[in-house]
């Protein structure tokens, strides 16, 4: 049972960290959320990504956002990872499990999970 008092407690807890949080946001993970993505299962993929980025304490470094149709609907759900000075990485046919692995190995560890990329899917 959730109450507004609990929301107040979150606010009190966050108040200090919000003012301190600079949020470099050097990595951007973008989930395709148009009709195609949603129908293919993007909603749980996004939820897993948000949850995992938070669990791993990456919220300062990684921003998880949503976008519309990326244009390659047959590969949905799609997650694109943008990072300054690096080539964009496109992950295709995503699942919550794959999203968790990408959060840990790529967003945290800096190592691209090659087998989930569009390059690997096209060569399969």
**Interacting residues toward other proteins by CB under 8 A:** 1-4, 6-8, 10-11, 13-15, 18-19, 33-36, 38-39, 43-44, 46-47, 50-51, 54, 59, 64-66, 68-71
Longest dimension (CA), the chain: 53
Q: How many CB atoms lie within 10 A of CB 110?
A: 10
Q: Which is nearer to other proteins, 10 or 84 (CB)?
A: 10
Q: How does strand 27-32 pair with strand 62-67?
A: parallel
Q: Which is nearer to other proteins, 24 or 54 (CB)?
A: 54
| Tokens 């496109």, residue located | 90
Least distance (Å) from other proteins to the CB of residue 20?
Answer: 12
């Amino acid at each position: 049972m959730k109450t507004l008092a609990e929301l107040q407690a979150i606010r009190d807890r966050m108040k200090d960290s919000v003012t301190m949080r600079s949020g470099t946001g050097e990595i951007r993970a973008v989930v395709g959320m148009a009709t195609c993505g949603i129908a293919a299962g993007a909603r749980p993929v996004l939820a897993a990504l948000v949850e995992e980025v938070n669990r791993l304490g990456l919220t300062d470094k990684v921003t998880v956002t949503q976008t519309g149709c990326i244009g390659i609907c047959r590969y949905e759900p799609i997650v694109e990872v943008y990072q300054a000075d690096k080539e964009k990485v496109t992950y295709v046919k995503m699942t919550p499990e794959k999203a968790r692995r990408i959060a840990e190995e790529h967003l945290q560890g800096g190592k691209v999970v090659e087998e989930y990329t569009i390059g690997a899917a096209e060569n399969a």
